[in-house]
Amino acid sequence: MTARPRRLLTVCLGNHCRSPLAAVILAQLGGDAVEVRSAGTRDKWLGQPAHAEMVAAAAARGYDMRAHLGVHISREMLEWADVVLAMDAGNLAALREVADGSTVPKLALYLDDRDVPDPWGKDAAAFANVVTLVEDGAARHLP
């Protein structure tokens, strides 16, 4: 009998840049050992593709985000996950508002002690930097 894959949920503000990127990176690097989903704490980009600049920055490093469509966080998603990884402290605080006693212990920052900066409204270099940060931080979450 094989062990169930580790369930990782990545969360950012709009599920438009950072969390879908983290989900793709974790899924690609983790392979069959993980099942990864992403969501946003706000529903502005619900059902929409990832930010074009993030898709391009990810593609330049070998990650395909083209299938992503924005999702809003739900209590069911928190219950599904083994670990819920917030991209920044603001998202972590928003998750604590949705979580209950059984799901709060699953919450953590993706980079443990610092935020993954939001590249929204910045140049291509900011998006590329986020890809590097997320990729460099991935190993700590993989079995």
**Using one digit for the tens of pLDDT, what is the confidence trace for 52-78?**
999 999 999 999 999 999 999 999 999
Q: How many CB atoms lie within 10 A of CB 31?
A: 10
Is 92's pLDDT higher than 80? Answer: yes
Domains of the chain: 13-141 (3.40.50.2300)
Percent with pLDDT over 70 in the chain: 99
> 12 catalytic, yes or no?
yes
Is 2's pLDDT higher than 80? Answer: no
Is 137's pLDDT higher than 90? Answer: yes
Question: What does DSSP assign to residue 79?
Answer: H
> 118 catalytic, yes or no?
yes
Is 22's pLDDT higher than 80? Answer: yes
| pLDDT average, residue stretch 96-110 | 97
Q: Which of 4, 7, 12, 113 is catalytic?
A: 12
Q: Which of 17, 37, 88, 118 is catalytic?
A: 118
- Cα dihedral 73, 10, 143, 24, rounded to 10, equals 120
Instruction: Determine the pLDDT at residue 3.
Output: 85
Is 116's pLDDT higher than 90? Answer: yes
The mean predicted confidence, pLDDT, of the chain is 97
Q: Which helix (H) or strand (E) holds 108?
A: strand 107-109
| pLDDT average, residue stretch 26-34 | 98
Instruction: Determine the pLDDT at residue 1.
Output: 59
Q: Which of 17, 18, 37, 88 is catalytic?
A: 18
> 18 catalytic, yes or no?
yes
